[in-house]
A and B are shown apart, each in its own frame.
Chain A
């Protein structure tokens, strides 16, 4: 393994790979990505892989719009032939309460003002898009036809192949065990395969980002919570959009393969990095799903798994250099949306590391906001 690097990125998930790809594209040499397992083994390979532009805050709309537009052109941007299976069947978001109906009206106005082509729909109109939805369970809906979902494994491969072809060194099965300091100055990283000295280190370790920050002795106000997903046997294509509801507490999509993949949140889920699966989830998820989509009740669940949401207090990411340790950067706290934000994460982080201005101002996503009382308005459009 190499002994020195200009930038060492910790975490071979979609965020770390996107940062590496963007840095390499901008001409930075000698980049290493360090992954303790295989690429995408963390939250990247465990997520729902939905991409949507329908958000409730301006910043999230802009961030996700950047990402969505990137994925639309991914094949050309990556210069490889890996099909990331970006299926733009739209996102249909159901409102379960009167408050949500009002919020969704405001959201659509905001989204339209930012050039996102979402529409506000009656339950009947939603039922035309998704005939197996019990429309008596929703009060209204919004829809954006450019939203969609993609294959997280292929997307990981597309990013890693693109990064490799630009000269990035990717070390799998290489675990970072410590952050090396010289006094109070950053010196590099220690791995189980040897030390790498690097003036710039990026913490993109997802669910494990706090462990990495602790190694560096810097504060990162995030915690990880288990979220679970289950998948059914495949059937003929019958649902184009991702359906999602916040108060309804569900996201569900039918992937090109024919399976339905779905998840929900649960405040009682553990926050101790465990990745076990629970029966409670299977039952609650099935109940939520069959209440809204009774016809899916006959489908058999073939598999369930879990991944980690890396949460912040305002459910927005942290894109920042650690104030205590110059050269040490965080791309963390994605709160369940790291996958869809990956293209913009790569862009803004690479610009920040190079000291250049990014296309979107993300200075408010700093790490100090949690201390200064500068929390952002909490995004309500989350599951």
Chain B
């Protein structure tokens, strides 16, 4: 990986320096919509290049190359944004008169927001910026990511990179009230195949901690040791109790940190390496 991009691996965020060369000049910006590609993953991935009908993404010499846009050719058609598996392409339009422009964002959650809905615009690091109006929704499916267009002040077009729905202020969630056995429940623990209904059911029955739910459902007992389900279960517990996540302990962490075969372990290692 290029040395100047290494910090992204650690921090997960692109800086202004990283984004240099990824935006058109000021006059081109006024001509029409354009694609902003914030891809820093040097991995074998090229759907954006091959999907572009205008050859507006500079050809790759190597499949691990990073994509750069030729803004003289880009029409902002959004085909590349629909196929980018990393959700790293945004379509910006600041060609209209007035203070406002639009930004089209890839969105993988359901349900999709509706046109006219107010959502919370968020920055690259996920922090809240301001409420914004949804002006267009392109549904996903057949390998294409849904795109949602927000109306945003022009000066903020390069800040907004995500949004979240604004939920009604409602009292704490009570699992027993919404338990519906016919509802196709999302999987919480992929290792052990435990779904959200089962977790909510256990919480409704009085289980109060990650460890109790782990013992009863096996969620978190698989090879990954709860790397994804632990947080989801904590969220459910906190939501049910109507308190902050901080009030809950994360449950036991058990060694070894990742699975090791007994053949390897039996060969032995250092003495006195004790951990808790």
Contact across chains for B266 and A157 when beta carbons are under 8 A apart = no
Residue from B212, B261, B262, B273 within 8 A of A279 (CB atoms): B273
Are the C-beta atoms of B262 and A290 separated by less than 8 Å?
Answer: yes
Known: A290-B262, A300-B261. A282 touches B274 (CB 8 A): no
Number of interface residues of B (CB under 8 A): 31
Q: Which of A38-46, A67-75, A187-195, A346-354 contacts B (4 or more CB under 8 A)?
A: A38-46
Which single member of A172, A173, A257, A298 contacts B261 (CB below 8 Å)?
A: A298
B263 x A279 contact (CB < 8 A): no
Question: Is there a chain A Cβ closer than 8 Å to B270's Cβ?
Answer: yes
Which A residues lie within 8 Å of B221 (CB)?
231, 302-303
CB distance from A324 to the nearest CB of B (A): 37
Q: Which residue of A lies closest to B271 (CB)?
A: A280
Q: Check if B215 is an interface residue, CB within 8 A of chain A.
A: yes
- Check if B259 is an interface residue, CB within 8 A of chain A: yes
Binary flags per residue of A34-75, CB closer than 8 Å to B gives 1, else 0: 000010110001000000000000000000000000000000
Partner of B268, one of A173, A283, A302: A283
Judged by a CB distance under 8 angstroms, whether B208 is at the interface is yes
Whether B262 lies near A277 (C-beta < 8 A) is no
A282 is contacted by which of B212, B223, B265, B271 (Cβ under 8 Å)?
B265
- Mark interface residues in B143-181 (1 if CB within 8 Å of A CB, else 0): 000000000000000000000000000000000000000
CB–CB A276/B218 < 8 A: no
Out of A153, A279, A297, which one reaches B269, CB within 8 Å? A279
B118 within 8 A of A: no
Whether A282 contacts B256 by the Cβ 8 Å rule is: yes
Q: How far is the CA of A154 from the CA of B260 in the complex (A)?
A: 28
Interface residues of B, dominant DSSP? loop
Task: Check B254–A277 contact: CB distance below 8 A.
Answer: yes
Answer yes or no: A296 CB below 8 A from chain B CBs. Answer: yes
A251 to chain B minimum Cβ distance, whole angstroms, is 15
Selected from A38, A277, A285, A303, the residue in CB contact (under 8 A) with B208 is A38
Interface status of A299 (Cβ within 8 A of chain B): yes
Q: Which residues of chain B (117-150) have a CB below 8 Å from chain A?
A: none
Residue of B nearest to A301 (CB): B260
Query: A172 contacts which chain B residues (CB < 8 A)?
Result: 208
* B-chain residues with CB within 8 Å of residue A41 when the two chains form the complex: 211
Residue numbers of A with Cβ under 8 A of B are: 38, 40-41, 45, 153-154, 157, 172-173, 231-233, 257, 276-280, 282-283, 285-287, 289-291, 296-305
11 further interface pairs, Cβ-Cβ under 8 Å (given A287-B265, A287-B268, A289-B266):
A38-B211, A231-B221, A276-B275, A278-B274, A282-B256, A286-B263, A298-B262, A298-B263, A299-B261, A301-B256, A305-B252
12 contacts between A and B (CB under 8 A): A38-B209, A173-B208, A278-B273, A279-B270, A282-B256, A283-B266, A289-B262, A290-B263, A290-B266, A300-B259, A301-B256, A302-B221
